[in-house]
Structure 1
Protein backbone atom coordinates (compact mmCIF):
# COMPACT_ATOMS: atom_id res chain seq x y z
CA UNK A 1 0.00 0.00 0.00
CA UNK A 2 1.38 3.39 -0.97
CA UNK A 3 0.81 6.22 1.51
CA UNK A 4 1.76 9.82 2.00
CA UNK A 5 1.89 11.80 5.22
CA UNK A 6 0.51 15.32 5.21
CA UNK A 7 0.65 17.95 7.94
CA UNK A 8 -2.43 20.02 8.66
CA UNK A 9 -2.59 23.03 10.97
CA UNK A 10 -5.88 23.42 12.85
CA UNK A 11 -7.55 20.25 11.56
CA UNK A 12 -11.32 20.06 11.74
CA UNK A 13 -13.63 17.55 13.37
CA UNK A 14 -13.70 15.42 10.19
CA UNK A 15 -9.92 14.91 10.32
CA UNK A 16 -10.02 14.09 14.02
CA UNK A 17 -12.84 11.59 13.47
CA UNK A 18 -10.90 9.94 10.64
CA UNK A 19 -7.88 9.45 12.94
CA UNK A 20 -10.06 8.16 15.77
CA UNK A 21 -11.87 5.59 13.62
CA UNK A 22 -9.02 3.04 13.29
CA UNK A 23 -7.86 3.70 16.86
CA UNK A 24 -11.31 3.01 18.28
CA UNK A 25 -11.65 -0.11 16.13
CA UNK A 26 -8.33 -1.41 17.49
CA UNK A 27 -9.31 -0.60 21.07
CA UNK A 28 -12.67 -2.37 20.69
CA UNK A 29 -10.94 -5.44 19.27
CA UNK A 30 -8.55 -5.58 22.24
CA UNK A 31 -10.65 -4.30 25.17
CA UNK A 32 -14.30 -4.54 24.10
CA UNK A 33 -16.94 -1.88 23.69
CA UNK A 34 -16.05 1.16 25.85
CA UNK A 35 -19.74 2.16 26.11
CA UNK A 36 -18.87 5.85 25.88
CA UNK A 37 -21.18 8.55 27.16
CA UNK A 38 -20.46 12.29 27.25
CA UNK A 39 -21.87 14.39 30.08
CA UNK A 40 -21.86 18.06 31.01
CA UNK A 41 -22.82 19.83 34.21
CA UNK A 42 -23.44 23.45 33.31
CA UNK A 43 -23.15 26.44 35.64
CA UNK A 44 -25.56 29.07 34.33
CA UNK A 45 -26.39 32.62 35.29
CA UNK A 46 -29.95 32.33 36.63
CA UNK A 47 -31.03 35.64 35.10
CA UNK A 48 -29.51 35.42 31.61
CA UNK A 49 -29.13 31.65 31.18
CA UNK A 50 -25.54 32.23 30.04
CA UNK A 51 -23.17 29.32 30.66
CA UNK A 52 -20.45 30.59 33.02
CA UNK A 53 -18.55 27.34 33.56
CA UNK A 54 -19.12 23.75 34.50
CA UNK A 55 -17.81 20.24 34.13
CA UNK A 56 -17.39 18.26 30.92
CA UNK A 57 -16.66 14.54 31.15
CA UNK A 58 -16.83 11.25 29.31
CA UNK A 59 -17.47 7.78 30.60
CA UNK A 60 -15.59 4.97 28.90
CA UNK A 61 -14.32 1.59 30.03
CA UNK A 62 -16.15 2.14 33.35
CA UNK A 63 -14.13 5.25 34.23
CA UNK A 64 -15.36 8.83 34.26
CA UNK A 65 -12.77 11.14 32.72
CA UNK A 66 -13.22 14.79 33.72
CA UNK A 67 -11.88 16.67 30.73
CA UNK A 68 -12.85 20.18 31.85
CA UNK A 69 -13.79 21.78 35.15
CA UNK A 70 -14.20 25.56 35.11
CA UNK A 71 -15.53 27.46 38.10
CA UNK A 72 -16.69 31.01 37.37
CA UNK A 73 -14.55 33.58 39.18
CA UNK A 74 -17.62 35.14 40.76
CA UNK A 75 -18.68 31.82 42.39
CA UNK A 76 -15.29 30.65 43.72
CA UNK A 77 -15.27 29.84 47.41
CA UNK A 78 -19.03 29.19 47.41
CA UNK A 79 -18.91 25.40 46.99
CA UNK A 80 -19.62 25.34 43.25
CA UNK A 81 -16.62 23.16 42.45
CA UNK A 82 -17.45 20.74 45.26
CA UNK A 83 -21.06 20.49 44.08
CA UNK A 84 -19.91 19.74 40.54
CA UNK A 85 -17.48 17.04 41.71
CA UNK A 86 -20.10 15.45 43.98
CA UNK A 87 -22.64 15.44 41.15
CA UNK A 88 -20.10 13.87 38.78
CA UNK A 89 -19.18 11.23 41.37
CA UNK A 90 -22.86 10.42 42.01
CA UNK A 91 -23.40 10.05 38.28
CA UNK A 92 -20.29 7.86 37.92
CA UNK A 93 -21.57 5.57 40.68
CA UNK A 94 -25.04 5.39 39.05
CA UNK A 95 -23.40 4.41 35.76
CA UNK A 96 -21.34 1.67 37.44
CA UNK A 97 -17.96 3.37 37.08
CA UNK A 98 -15.03 2.03 39.08
CA UNK A 99 -13.33 5.42 39.26
CA UNK A 100 -12.82 8.99 38.10
CA UNK A 101 -9.65 10.46 36.61
CA UNK A 102 -8.52 13.85 35.39
CA UNK A 103 -5.47 15.94 34.72
CA UNK A 104 -4.70 19.43 36.00
CA UNK A 105 -1.80 21.84 36.26
CA UNK A 106 0.03 22.50 39.52
CA UNK A 107 -1.22 26.11 39.44
CA UNK A 108 -4.87 25.13 39.10
CA UNK A 109 -6.38 23.15 41.98
CA UNK A 110 -4.52 19.98 42.98
CA UNK A 111 -5.22 20.60 46.70
CA UNK A 112 -8.93 20.96 45.91
CA UNK A 113 -8.95 17.53 44.26
CA UNK A 114 -6.97 16.00 47.15
CA UNK A 115 -9.63 17.31 49.56
CA UNK A 116 -12.15 15.37 47.49
CA UNK A 117 -10.27 12.08 47.72
CA UNK A 118 -8.20 12.20 44.53
CA UNK A 119 -4.67 10.76 44.49
CA UNK A 120 -1.88 11.59 42.07
CA UNK A 121 -0.79 8.76 39.78
CA UNK A 122 1.47 10.67 37.42
CA UNK A 123 3.13 13.95 36.64
CA UNK A 124 4.74 15.60 33.67
CA UNK A 125 7.42 18.12 34.65
CA UNK A 126 8.01 21.24 32.58
CA UNK A 127 4.49 21.31 31.11
CA UNK A 128 4.00 24.23 30.87
CA UNK A 129 7.56 25.46 31.39
CA UNK A 130 8.24 25.93 35.10
CA UNK A 131 5.14 23.94 36.08
CA UNK A 132 3.77 20.41 36.18
CA UNK A 133 0.81 18.64 34.67
CA UNK A 134 -0.65 16.30 37.26
CA UNK A 135 -2.71 13.16 36.69
CA UNK A 136 -5.18 12.28 39.45
CA UNK A 137 -7.67 9.53 40.11
CA UNK A 138 -10.25 8.43 42.65
CA UNK A 139 -11.43 4.84 42.87
CA UNK A 140 -15.11 4.31 43.58
CA UNK A 141 -15.10 0.56 44.13
Structure 2
Protein backbone atom coordinates (compact mmCIF):
# COMPACT_ATOMS: atom_id res chain seq x y z
CA UNK A 1 0.00 0.00 0.00
CA UNK A 2 1.08 3.60 -0.61
CA UNK A 3 -0.63 6.91 0.15
CA UNK A 4 -1.41 9.48 -2.51
CA UNK A 5 -1.89 12.78 -0.66
CA UNK A 6 -2.91 15.61 -2.96
CA UNK A 7 -4.71 18.92 -3.14
CA UNK A 8 -5.44 18.29 -6.82
CA UNK A 9 -7.09 14.86 -7.04
CA UNK A 10 -8.21 13.29 -10.28
CA UNK A 11 -11.95 13.90 -10.58
CA UNK A 12 -12.57 10.18 -11.10
CA UNK A 13 -10.65 9.27 -7.93
CA UNK A 14 -12.60 11.72 -5.79
CA UNK A 15 -15.90 10.64 -7.35
CA UNK A 16 -15.04 6.97 -6.69
CA UNK A 17 -14.60 7.55 -2.96
CA UNK A 18 -17.80 9.59 -2.75
CA UNK A 19 -19.77 6.98 -4.73
CA UNK A 20 -18.47 4.12 -2.57
CA UNK A 21 -19.41 5.98 0.63
CA UNK A 22 -22.90 6.69 -0.70
CA UNK A 23 -23.33 3.05 -1.76
CA UNK A 24 -22.43 1.94 1.76
CA UNK A 25 -24.84 4.49 3.29
CA UNK A 26 -27.72 3.29 1.09
CA UNK A 27 -27.56 -0.04 2.89
CA UNK A 28 -28.81 1.72 6.03
CA UNK A 29 -31.29 4.27 4.70
CA UNK A 30 -33.54 4.69 1.73
CA UNK A 31 -33.08 7.55 -0.64
CA UNK A 32 -30.11 9.64 -1.53
CA UNK A 33 -29.29 13.30 -1.45
CA UNK A 34 -31.16 15.67 -3.70
CA UNK A 35 -29.79 19.12 -4.50
CA UNK A 36 -31.81 22.20 -3.58
CA UNK A 37 -30.80 25.67 -4.77
CA UNK A 38 -32.67 28.95 -4.54
CA UNK A 39 -31.49 32.06 -6.40
CA UNK A 40 -32.55 35.69 -6.12
CA UNK A 41 -32.12 37.54 -9.42
CA UNK A 42 -32.37 41.18 -10.38
CA UNK A 43 -34.28 42.56 -13.37
CA UNK A 44 -31.33 41.77 -15.65
CA UNK A 45 -31.35 38.13 -14.41
CA UNK A 46 -28.07 38.52 -12.48
CA UNK A 47 -27.81 36.51 -9.27
CA UNK A 48 -27.88 38.85 -6.28
CA UNK A 49 -28.29 36.09 -3.71
CA UNK A 50 -28.43 32.37 -3.43
CA UNK A 51 -28.68 29.32 -1.25
CA UNK A 52 -27.24 25.89 -1.97
CA UNK A 53 -28.25 22.81 -0.02
CA UNK A 54 -29.10 19.13 -0.11
CA UNK A 55 -32.06 17.23 1.24
CA UNK A 56 -31.57 13.72 2.53
CA UNK A 57 -32.80 11.45 5.30
CA UNK A 58 -35.53 13.98 6.24
CA UNK A 59 -32.98 16.80 6.66
CA UNK A 60 -32.32 20.01 4.81
CA UNK A 61 -28.54 20.53 4.96
CA UNK A 62 -27.66 24.09 3.94
CA UNK A 63 -24.19 24.54 2.49
CA UNK A 64 -24.02 28.16 1.37
CA UNK A 65 -26.16 31.27 1.78
CA UNK A 66 -24.99 34.49 0.16
CA UNK A 67 -26.48 37.89 -0.67
CA UNK A 68 -24.57 40.57 -2.57
CA UNK A 69 -23.47 43.30 -0.15
CA UNK A 70 -25.43 45.94 -2.11
CA UNK A 71 -28.63 43.99 -1.45
CA UNK A 72 -28.20 43.04 2.20
CA UNK A 73 -30.61 44.15 4.93
CA UNK A 74 -33.52 43.99 2.46
CA UNK A 75 -34.87 40.59 3.50
CA UNK A 76 -33.44 38.56 0.63
CA UNK A 77 -31.59 36.09 2.89
CA UNK A 78 -34.75 35.48 4.89
CA UNK A 79 -36.73 34.98 1.68
CA UNK A 80 -34.15 32.49 0.39
CA UNK A 81 -34.22 30.58 3.69
CA UNK A 82 -38.02 30.45 3.85
CA UNK A 83 -38.22 29.20 0.26
CA UNK A 84 -35.67 26.45 0.98
CA UNK A 85 -37.48 25.45 4.18
CA UNK A 86 -40.82 25.27 2.34
CA UNK A 87 -39.35 23.07 -0.38
CA UNK A 88 -37.67 20.88 2.26
CA UNK A 89 -41.03 20.38 3.97
CA UNK A 90 -42.55 19.45 0.61
CA UNK A 91 -39.76 16.86 0.23
CA UNK A 92 -40.60 15.40 3.64
CA UNK A 93 -37.81 16.98 5.67
CA UNK A 94 -38.34 17.41 9.39
CA UNK A 95 -35.12 19.23 10.36
CA UNK A 96 -32.66 21.79 9.00
CA UNK A 97 -28.95 21.95 9.76
CA UNK A 98 -26.57 24.77 8.91
CA UNK A 99 -23.29 26.16 10.14
CA UNK A 100 -21.85 29.66 10.02
CA UNK A 101 -18.79 31.49 11.26
CA UNK A 102 -18.81 34.16 13.96
CA UNK A 103 -18.03 36.86 11.35
CA UNK A 104 -20.92 35.71 9.15
CA UNK A 105 -24.46 35.28 10.44
CA UNK A 106 -25.05 33.48 13.76
CA UNK A 107 -27.60 36.08 14.89
CA UNK A 108 -29.44 35.82 11.57
CA UNK A 109 -30.09 32.12 12.14
CA UNK A 110 -31.15 32.69 15.74
CA UNK A 111 -33.72 35.26 14.53
CA UNK A 112 -35.12 32.63 12.16
CA UNK A 113 -35.69 30.24 15.06
CA UNK A 114 -32.55 28.12 14.78
CA UNK A 115 -30.90 26.83 17.94
CA UNK A 116 -27.19 26.35 18.34
CA UNK A 117 -26.14 22.78 19.11
CA UNK A 118 -22.38 23.03 18.73
CA UNK A 119 -19.45 25.38 18.37
CA UNK A 120 -15.81 25.10 17.36
CA UNK A 121 -13.47 27.75 18.69
CA UNK A 122 -10.16 29.17 17.50
CA UNK A 123 -10.84 28.64 13.80
CA UNK A 124 -7.95 30.49 12.17
CA UNK A 125 -7.01 31.43 15.73
CA UNK A 126 -9.83 33.93 16.31
CA UNK A 127 -13.14 32.81 14.79
CA UNK A 128 -15.86 30.45 15.94
CA UNK A 129 -17.90 28.07 13.81
CA UNK A 130 -21.51 27.81 14.99
CA UNK A 131 -23.71 24.79 14.23
CA UNK A 132 -27.48 25.32 14.14
CA UNK A 133 -30.59 23.21 13.74
CA UNK A 134 -34.29 23.87 13.39
CA UNK A 135 -37.33 21.63 13.40
CA UNK A 136 -39.62 22.15 10.44
Fold shared by both chains (TM-score > 0.5): yes
TM-score by length of 1: 0.89
| Preserved CA contact (<8 Å) 2:120 2:129 | yes
Cα deviation, residue 12, structure 1: 4.6
Structure 1 residue 120 and structure 2 residue 116: aligned? yes
RMSD: 1.4
Cα deviation, residue 101, structure 1: 0.5
Cα deviation, residue 133, structure 1: 0.7
Q: Which residue of 2 aligns with 1:103?
A: 99
Q: Which residue of 2 aligns with 1:5?
A: 3
Distance 1:82 1:12, change over 3 A: farther
| Preserved CA contact (<8 Å) 1:34 1:62 | no
Kindly provide the CA deviation profile for residues 57-88 of structure 1, in whole angstroms up to 9, marking residues without a partner as x: 10011100010000111111110011011101
TM-score by length of 2: 0.92
* Whole-Å separation in 2 of the counterparts to 1:12 and 1:112: 38
Deviates more, 1:7-16 or 1:37-46: 7-16
Kindly provide the CA deviation profile for residues 33-64 of structure 1, in whole angstroms up to 9, marking residues without a partner as x: 343110111122322x2223300010011100
* Whole-Å separation in 1 of the counterparts to 2:100 and 2:14: 23
- Of 7, 16, 40, which aligns to 2:37? 40
Q: Which residue of 1 aligns with 2:23?
A: 25
User: How many pairs does the alignment contain?
Assistant: 136
Q: Which residue of 2 aligns with 1:134?
A: 130
Higher strand proportion, which one? 2
Kindly provide the CA deviation profile for residues 75-118 of structure 1, in whole angstroms up to 9, marking residues without a partner as x: 11110011011101111111110111011001101101000010
